[in-house]
């Protein structure tokens, strides 16, 4: 098993080291995350005014939601152009000849970037946010542990969405529009931009049949202790279900796409 994972771990290590070479980008990334958090805090602070809560949702809960959601958004490193760029420059032909899984390489290179951002981006941003705008502590040790587990599953959902989307690059010349639409849906329906507590009632059935709330909002709910043990299990199973469905659909398109791939130049 260790020998099988060795090349993929090497890809992850390479991505980690590549990230560490660009220190200015690293500091700008932290600043960007902090600015987004501060802007959202100012907006919701103004909307709340003198009120301590709205529909049972306190300002502290809202602050915790967007600190964690924006932090996770910065942490989860997913390169939506990984496959499109390789198809565009023709290098996909060479990479398909390598004795490693292309999907495995894609995943572990993303994981290497994510691991770097965990220590040098996510944690500093959350600590600074906690000291400035403030966030609620986890509901308990168990809630924090399940938050970590659910966040990992949330990353899996996000990566699987990106993986499925990238498969369309076998048929589309320009992926920018499709990726932009995907990012808009994630920003709005995952809870990172607008806490899903404030969504209209008619949106609830829509959110249940889409994977986006599983990315950020489910981990936040667990962190705040809003879910029972049975509900946490159900939510985690939903996350795993989405990972399986999205990956299998992406893999189906991958097999179809390889058969029609035509590379010119490269």
* Tokens of residue 260, six digits: 């029609």
- Residue 181 sits at φ, ψ, to 5 deg, of -60, -45
The CA radius of gyration of the chain, in Å to the nearest whole number, is 20
Q: Which residue has the tokens 């390479």?
A: 14
| Consecutive H or E run containing 200 | none
230's enclosing H/E stretch is helix 229-260
**Residue-level pLDDT, tens digit, the chain, 266 residues:** 667 788 888 989 888 888 877 777 778 888 989 999 999 999 999 989 888 888 889 999 999 999 999 999 989 989 999 999 999 888 888 888 888 999 999 999 999 999 999 988 899 999 999 999 989 999 999 999 999 999 999 999 999 999 999 999 999 988 999 999 999 999 899 988 889 999 988 888 888 889 999 999 999 999 999 999 999 999 999 999 999 999 999 999 999 998 887 665 54
Examine residue 160 and state whether it is found in any structural domain, yes or no.
Answer: yes
122-125 contact pairs (CB < 8 A, 24+)? 122/71, 122/72, 122/74, 122/75, 124/30, 125/30, 125/33, 125/34, 125/37, 125/71, 125/74
Give pLDDT, residue 263.
Answer: 65
Distance CA 89, CA 254 (A): 18
- The region that residue 215 occupies, defined by phi over 0 for left and psi between -120 and 50 for alpha, beta otherwise, is alpha
Provide the b/e sequence for 112-142 (b: ≥16 CB within 10 Å): bbbbbbeebbbebbbebbeeebebbebbeee
- For residues 73, 74, 78 and 79, what is the CA-based torsion angle, rounded to 10 degrees? 130
CA distances from 256 to 55, 82, 252 (A): 49, 18, 6
3-state secondary structure at position 181:
helix
Is 0.85 topped by the overall pTM?
Answer: yes
Range of the domain at 74: 2-260
Task: Confirm whether 218 is domain-assigned.
Answer: yes
- Whole-number Cα distances in Å, 166 to 160, 161, 222: 10, 9, 30
Q: Has residue 139 been placed in a domain?
A: yes
Question: What pLDDT is recorded for position 266?
Answer: 47
Measured distance CA(225)–CA(232) in Å, rounded: 10
Residue 142 lies in a domain: yes
Residue 265 lies in a domain: no
Q: What CA–CA distance (Å, rounded) separates 141 from 173?
A: 48
Give domain status of residue 156, yes or no.
yes
Total domains in the fold of the chain: 1
* Residue 266, domain member (yes or no): no
């Amino acid at each position: 098993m260790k020998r099988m994972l060795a090349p993929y771990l090497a890809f992850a290590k390479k991505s980690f080291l590549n990230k560490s070479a660009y220190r200015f980008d690293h500091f700008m990334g932290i600043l960007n995350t902090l600015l987004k958090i501060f802007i959202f805090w100012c907006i919701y602070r103004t909307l709340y005014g003198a009120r301590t809560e709205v529909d049972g949702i306190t300002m502290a809960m809202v602050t915790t939601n967007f600190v964690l959601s924006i932090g996770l958004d910065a942490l989860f490193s997913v390169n939506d152009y990984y496959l499109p760029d390789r198809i565009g420059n023709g290098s996909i032909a060479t990479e398909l000849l390598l004795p490693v899984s292309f999907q495995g390489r894609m995943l572990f290179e993303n994981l290497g970037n994510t691991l770097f951002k965990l220590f040098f981006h996510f944690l500093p941003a959350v600590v600074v946010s906690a000291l400035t705008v403030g966030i609620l502590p986890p509901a308990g040790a168990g809630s924090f542990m399940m938050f970590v587990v659910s966040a990992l599953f949330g990353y899996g959902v996000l990566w699987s969405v990106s993986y499925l989307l990238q498969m369309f690059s076998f048929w589309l010349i320009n992926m920018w529009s499709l990726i932009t639409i995907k990012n808009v849906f994630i920003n709005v329906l995952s809870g990172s931009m607008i806490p899903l507590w404030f969504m209209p009632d008619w949106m609830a059935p829509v959110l249940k049949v889409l994977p986006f709330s599983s990315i950020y909002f489910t981990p936040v709910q667990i962190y705040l202790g809003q879910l029972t043990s049975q509900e946490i299990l159900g939510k985690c199973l939903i996350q795993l279900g989405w990972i399986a469905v999205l990956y299998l659909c992406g893999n189906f398109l991958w097999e179809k796409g390889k058969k029609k791939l035509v590379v010119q130049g490269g």
